[in-house]
Structure 1
């Protein structure tokens, strides 16, 4: 009885300051959590879950009251149980240390480990095996280093077309009255042995150069006459100039098409760093080799080189004239030699500049991510 009195003194209810008088206990018995058939260890784990505070307090109170009623150390279980039941919510909370004392010093402590169920997204945070990580990394690196076919084709076409574009541009610079003026007034240029002065040459030669760039017909040259009243150009000369004009127009049209191609190539390759520059670099190398080769052939035999050039673009016989004809007097062999030198120098200069400014620079690739850096 003495022990029961101490338990009653320990289980005296505390003053409840909550005016709502809400004991947080179920209003009906059927709402209580049944204690029968539960695993004590699992029940204690579920009761210790921090996510359900009301259920913890309720289950702890029921378990403590059950221990006070049936515990062997209580002495008189019915009196203690009735006092614990009448103490309400405060008595249930205060019965925890009393129940622990009633269990005895040899009783095993209750399990309070925090066992939480895995969240639905916990599988997404799991790292795949190392073999899978290496395989995916290798696939990403291979995809990053893969070179599509279209850019490679554009670069090859740029290397093929750039020599023709530069040569056509150089020819356009030569076929101007400015170059004609420089030739006629440069020291050492041979004079006309049949009576043309420098002014006559510049006037008649300008007509011939303008005819190559305008849309006039053969009358533009055929109706020209000398001061003596004789035609300035013969029919054979007018026919040859018409052929030259056709070749020039085809070259200029091809140059515009090639220029448009390079604009399109730039728009396509600008998203790939260095791709357009590598195409220009390859084309400049090809141009440099071609021009040097042609210069060597012209240096070894200018007459043969000049003849072979005319045989490629003009029919046989309509480009051979006498020394007294107007075209030979206006454009002697020295004029064509100087024109070929200027064309070669301009082409080599432009291609050299392209090689210098488009020189490919190897970009440093970032180091692969190591396991230590990923863990950090």
Structure 2
């Protein structure tokens, strides 16, 4: 057995009675591209959802539950947008800690029992969780930018390094991988959202730091239905984009 190299693609050469048979295999760096694409697509979808537009869509979905403690839709959107701004900006927790209910409103009785000042929008437990969420979001955005940079660098390397065909094939595999993974997650969300919701929080947050009363502001702004719809939106955006990439590259990789 010998080896021949064509560009960046290696071909082991097996000889049977003087006849050479080439067997191609995918270089390891192409598999990295395949694995990076789902990360980039999922985090791109997450970033797109931390926007006023998505909040408008989410709160206007058919059957979205009203706040049983009195927030109007307009008030929910106002406070939710401020929370989203906090996740993306460089401000410390005082950005939210100083917020107060409108004049004449206070935290509901159950939540108020654990607060020194019931006119504040968030209690200390909520503020601590929002700090934790911001840390996770900021790290996720760093990973997102890093994955995009690596995909771009890989594309440049592939173009000049002679493995463009393998790069496109890697993207195609990554597209199908994204669709498959998020298709499975979507099914799980539809059948047992509570299980995946708890598992997700246990991975990223310390036990006991992410559970709240229904009367707490965080739950009033972001009820379970909001998060179920958000998981499905991420799956739809990322999985759909993955499928589109795979289909668009099908002809290119076949022709090349």
Q: TM-score, normalised by structure 1?
A: 0.56
CA drift at 1:299 = 2.3
Name the counterpart of 2:240: 349
Matched, 1:257 2:123: no
5 Å matches for 1:154-193?
154-193=29-68
Matched, 1:241 2:116: no
- For structure 1, the 5+ residue unaligned runs are 1-138, 364-376
2:88 and 2:149 map into 1 onto residues whose CA distance is 21
- For structure 2, the 5+ residue unaligned runs are 12-25, 107-118
2:83 and 2:74 map into 1 onto residues whose CA distance is 14
> Over alpha carbons, which structure has the higher Rg?
1
- What per-residue deviation string (whole Å, max 9, x for no partner) do you get for residues 258-313 of structure 1? 11101110011113342221110111121112111212222221111111110000
Matched, 1:147 2:22: no
Among 220, 225, 229, the residue aligned to 1:329 = 220
**Contact 2:67/2:220 (<8 A) preserved:** yes
| 3-state secondary structure, aligned to 2:151 | helix
Alignment RMSD, CA only? Answer: 2.0
CA drift at 1:148 = 4.5
Name the counterpart of 1:16: none
4+ residue runs over 6 A deviation: none
5 Å matches for 1:10-49?
none
2:47 and 2:216 map into 1 onto residues whose CA distance is 25
2:8 and 2:62 map into 1 onto residues whose CA distance is 59
Name the counterpart of 1:305: 196
Q: TM-score, normalised by structure 2?
A: 0.82
Larger relative contact order (CA 8 Å, sep ≥ 6):
2
**Contact 2:179/2:240 (<8 A) preserved:** no
Q: Evaluate the alpha carbon distance shift between residue 144 and residue 322 of structure 1 in structure 2; reply closer, same or farther with a 3 A threshold.
A: closer
More strand as a share of residues? 2
Name the counterpart of 1:106: none
**Contact 2:43/2:140 (<8 A) preserved:** yes
Name the counterpart of 1:200: 75
